[in-house]
Structure formats: structure tokens, C-alpha cells
């Protein structure tokens, strides 16, 4: 691994950091240490990095804002790629084009400031454009798939292609990219609608107020833990079992919203994982419902 890192540093492909605590790059603020983080300066650099890692058979992954992930406490014996430098975006009429590393909250506010509607649901989602497309991020009964028209993608064969919305297998918190891990989102294009800036700002402020009132934003978390089953809410099921406020180690099933697990007191990743499993097993035992995890578990094998 040292030789690979040395080679990456010599390639002029962007910043390379070694022995990086994952707690600094995930919204849970937990996780072990990654051997290296690489920040490609452009798409050509990304391709060079991936070709080298494939040639040397080095474990690697692309990480967005870490807002929907739970890394284990173990060392990540590989390379984590961050697309933070792919952060350009522009508007053309009602069209928005944004690179994968763009901050989703920033982009949604930029759309509002341009009197465009279609992304205001995302004003409180702390992710990247790439991550949002990957998981079909959504809130308030809206999601990315409703306004996204196409994405620029890097294939496992290092080709840059364009994929249309109807090719992306969108469904509730799911996309083509979840089952085709070698494909990487580079850029997304959205077709928005003209709206009234003042009304959109009021809507964004109202939703911010609702989030503050209903979600435990004062503690590190990764948002909703489980997808909602048909015709009910995961948080409601967990709360009915009396698990609201249940703690293990430094983690808690939030006393404010039972579908959130929070890092309340220097939790370990294993504390959070225990509560995920406990809540899921309890709901299965009591209701016969298999809750589907909305978050990604990484490096637990």
C-alpha cells in the first residue's frame, strides 16, 4: 500500500492524504482510519487513479459527503476517492447542470435563488450531487428522479457516457448505481420549473423549521436509518416498541425521532450498528416486518 500511495503522490492527479480518520468524513462522526484519501483534480485524473488501482488490485471506493454511510471501526485497507474538486455547476434557462462533487444543499438554494423549483426538497440533505443520484435522495414525498434528466457517467471500462433518466432504474432510495458499483456519477442534469423566489424561500424556511422541530439535528447522525415500509413509518414502529431513547454505548435511538440513531457521547461505529440490528430485529419479531436499511454499511466484512 505504501508503494501505491507513493505512486499516486507522484502522478500529479490531485491531493493525496494518508491515514485519514473516517470520523472526519462521515456525518455519524465515527469509523476507523482509511489508508489514503485521494481528491482527483479532474475526470482525466480520476481515470488515471482508477486504472492504477485496478491494475494493482487495490480496494477502493468513491465517497460523497458520508451522510448516508456507516463505516466500521476497523482500518479501511484501501483508497477512498473524493470528488470534491468536481464542483462546477451552471444554469441555462430552467436547466441545471452540476458536477458530482457539488454540495446538494448549496445547489438547491442556488436553484431557489434563480427562481427555479424542483430541488427545494433537498435544502436540508447534507450530501453531494453524486451521492444524491446514487441513492435517489428525497424528502417530503419528492426525490432526485423527478427532475433529473440525464447523468454523465464513468463506466468500469473508463468510458464517459451519458445515461438518461429511464435507464437509471430509479425507485424509492434506489438507482442503477447501487447495483452497478463500477459506474461513477460525474455530472447530473436537471430540468426544473419556473417558480416564484419568495414562495420557494418561504417553503424552504418552513421545511427547515419542521426539520429542527422533528429531527435530532443537535447530534451527529446519518438521517433516516430505515426506509419506510408500505403504509406505515419505520419511526412509528420503533417508537411503539418503546425504543425511543434506548442507548447502547455512546449511541442512542433518538428520543426525538425513532428512525434516527445519534452519536450522543463519543459513540463507536459498533454502538450504532448494535442499535440498527436491535431495532430491526425487534420490529421483525413484533410485527413481522423486515425493515430495509437506508444507510450503507461499509467495511464490516
- Active site residues per annotation: 173, 224, 294
| Under 8 Å between Cβ of 210 and 113 | no
**How far apart, in Å, are the Cα atoms of 297 and each of 106, 185, 225, 269, 271?**
26, 20, 11, 10, 13
E strand spans, 123-237: 138-139, 142-143, 148-154, 160-164, 184-191, 193-194
Q: Provide the pairing of β-strand 89-92 with 95-99.
A: antiparallel
HSE toward the beta carbon, residue 172, CA cutoff 13 A: 10
Query: Any long-range contacts for 136-143 (C-beta under 8 Å, 24+ apart)?
Result: 136/170, 136/171, 136/172, 136/173, 136/174, 136/175, 137/68, 137/104, 137/173, 138/172, 138/173, 139/207, 140/207, 143/170, 143/172, 143/173
Q: Partners of 248 in the beta sheet?
A: 251
DSSP letters, 45-74, are: HHHHHHHHHHHTT--EEEE-SSTTEEE-SS
Helix 43-55 with 2-10: angle, nearest 10 deg: 150
d(CA 94, CA 129): 18
Phi and psi angles of residue 18, each rounded to the nearest 5 degrees, phi first: -115, 150
Hunting for cell 463519543 — which residue is that?
A: 266
Amino acid at each position: 500500500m505504501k508503494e501505491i500511495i507513493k505512486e499516486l503522490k507522484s502522478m500529479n492527479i490531485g491531493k493525496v492524504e494518508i491515514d485519514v480518520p473516517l470520523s472526519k468524513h462521515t456525518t455519524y462522526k465515527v469509523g476507523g482510519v482509511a489508508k489514503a484519501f485521494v481528491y482527483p483534480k479532474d475526470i482525466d485524473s480520476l481515470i488515471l487513479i482508477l486504472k492504477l488501482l485496478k491494475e494493482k488490485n487495490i480496494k477502493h471506493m468513491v465517497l460523497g459527503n458520508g451522510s448516508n454511510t456507516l463505516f466500521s471501526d476497523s482500518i479501511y485497507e484501501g483508497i477512498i476517492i473524493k470528488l470534491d474538486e468536481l464542483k462546477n455547476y451552471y444554469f441555462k434557462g430552467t436547466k441545471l447542470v452540476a458536477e458530482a462533487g457539488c454540495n446538494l444543499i448549496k445547489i438547491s438554494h442556488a436553484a431557489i435563488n434563480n427562481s427555479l423549483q424542483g430541488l427545494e426538497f433537498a435544502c436540508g440533505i447534507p450530501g453531494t450531487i453524486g451521492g444524491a443520484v446514487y441513492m435517489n435522495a428525497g424528502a417530503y414525498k419528492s426525490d432526485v428522479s423527478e427532475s433529473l434528466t440525464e447523468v454523465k457517467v464513468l463506466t468500469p471500462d473508463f468510458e464517459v457516457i451519458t445515461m438518461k433518466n429511464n435507464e437509471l432504474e430509479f425507485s424509492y432510495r434506489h438507482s442503477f448505481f447501487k447495483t452497478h458499483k463500477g459506474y461513477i456519477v460525474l455530472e447530473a442534469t436537471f430540468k426544473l420549473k419556473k417558480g416564484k423566489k419568495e414562495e420557494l424561500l418561504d417553503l424552504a424556511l418552513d421545511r427547515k423549521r419542521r426539520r429542527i422541530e422533528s429531527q435530532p439535528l443537535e447530534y451527529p447522525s446519518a438521517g433516516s436509518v430505515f426506509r419506510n415500509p408500505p403504509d406505515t413509518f419505520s419511526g412509528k414502529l420503533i417508537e411503539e416498541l418503546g425504543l425511543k431513547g434506548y442507548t447502547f454505548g455512546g449511541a442512542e435511538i433518538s428520543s426525538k425521532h425513532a428512525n434516527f440513531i445519534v452519536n450522543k457521547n463519543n459513540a463507536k461505529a459498533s454502538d450504532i450498528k448494535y442499535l440498527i440490528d436491535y431495532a430491526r430485529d425487534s420490529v421483525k419479531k413484533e410485527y413481522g416486518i423486515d425493515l430495509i436499511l437506508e444507510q450503507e454499511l461499509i467495511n464490516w466484512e
